[in-house]
Amino acid sequence: MNWLLDLTPDEWNAVRLSIKVATVAMLFSLPPGIAIALLLARGKFWGKTLLNGVVHLPLILPPVVTGYLLLLTFGRRGPAGAFLAEHFGIVFSFRWTGAALACGIMGFPLMVRAIRLSIEAVDRKMEAAAGTLGANPLFVFATITLPLILPGLIAGSILSFAKAMGEFGATITFVSNIPNETQTLPSAIYTFTQVPGGDDGALRLTLISVVISMAALVASEVLARRVGRRMDIE
């Protein structure tokens, strides 16, 4: 059994990197995810269908295509990439930040979907009641809407995290497969399968993948149940 737990430093790095990338992707997706979900759930504006389509694109496009589009726009010579590098010093190409961006984008439609559904389930009469008690719209959102959609936020975040842990195609296309920088768990497993004698390493990382994903799932279940018990449906 020893070979199972005895990870090489490179393998550990891949595990740590994956968790870092997935966490950053999830946290940075959350604010725009809530904003877009709100727009889609409640907004009435021209181009709503288009926005919905764009948000869902990563779900239906081949991941390689998404990765290539990211390379074109956020690469060193891409318009957004050049702008961000020049003015803010943020570089995505061939960095772990690029992996986080790719993972965030790929998980975004899943997150938006979960949050949007929970926003649509919110009883708007509750918000009206809060308004008659003197709360301004921003305060109503913070004290009524957000707590009521908490289960959706948790579900969306976990989906985004899980998607990021498993993302391969877009990441490898956009930021390649550089050990210690952009080599996430799936990339590392892929690398192991390409070299002779890599079976042990591939299996070790596969098991670790399973454990992390299961842990995330269980954590979300526990959280969602605690939230649910706290507010029971009336």
Partner 1 sequence: MSVLVDISHRLGEFAIDARFESAGRLTALFGPSGSGKTTLINMIAGLIRPGEGRIAVDGRVLVDTDAGIFVPKHKRRIGMVFQDARLFPHMSVAGNLRYGRWFTPPAERYANMDAVVELLGIGPLLDRRPAKLSGGEKQRVAIGRALLASPKLLLMDEPLASLDDARKAEILPYIERLRDETKLPIVYVSHSVAEVARLASDVVVMAQGKVAASGPTGAIMQRLDLLPVEERGEGGAVLDTIVLRHDEAFGMSVLRSAAGEIRVPRLAISVGAPVRIRIRARDVMIATEQPTGLSALNILPGIIVAVSPGEGPTVEVGIDCNGATVLARITEQSRHALNLRLGSKVFAVVKTVSFDRANTGAGLPAEADG
Query: Considering the rule CB under 8 A, would residue 44 count as an interface residue with partner 1?
Result: no
Q: Which of 50, 125, 196, 197 binds partner 1 (CB under 8 A)?
A: 125
Q: Which of 136, 194, 196, 197 binds partner 1 (CB under 8 A)?
A: 136
Specify the residue, 87 or 230, whose C-beta has the smaller distance to partner 1.
Answer: 230
Specify the residue, 91 or 126, whose C-beta has the smaller distance to partner 1.
Answer: 126
Specify the residue, 54 or 128, whose C-beta has the smaller distance to partner 1.
Answer: 128
Distance, in Å, from the CA atom of 234 to the CA atom of 185, rounded to the nearest integer, reads 43
Q: Which of 57, 80, 82, 135 binds partner 1 (CB under 8 A)?
A: 135
x/- track of binding to partner 1 for residues 67-106 (CB under 8 A):
----------------------------------------
Query: Considering the rule CB under 8 A, would residue 232 count as an interface residue with partner 1?
Result: yes
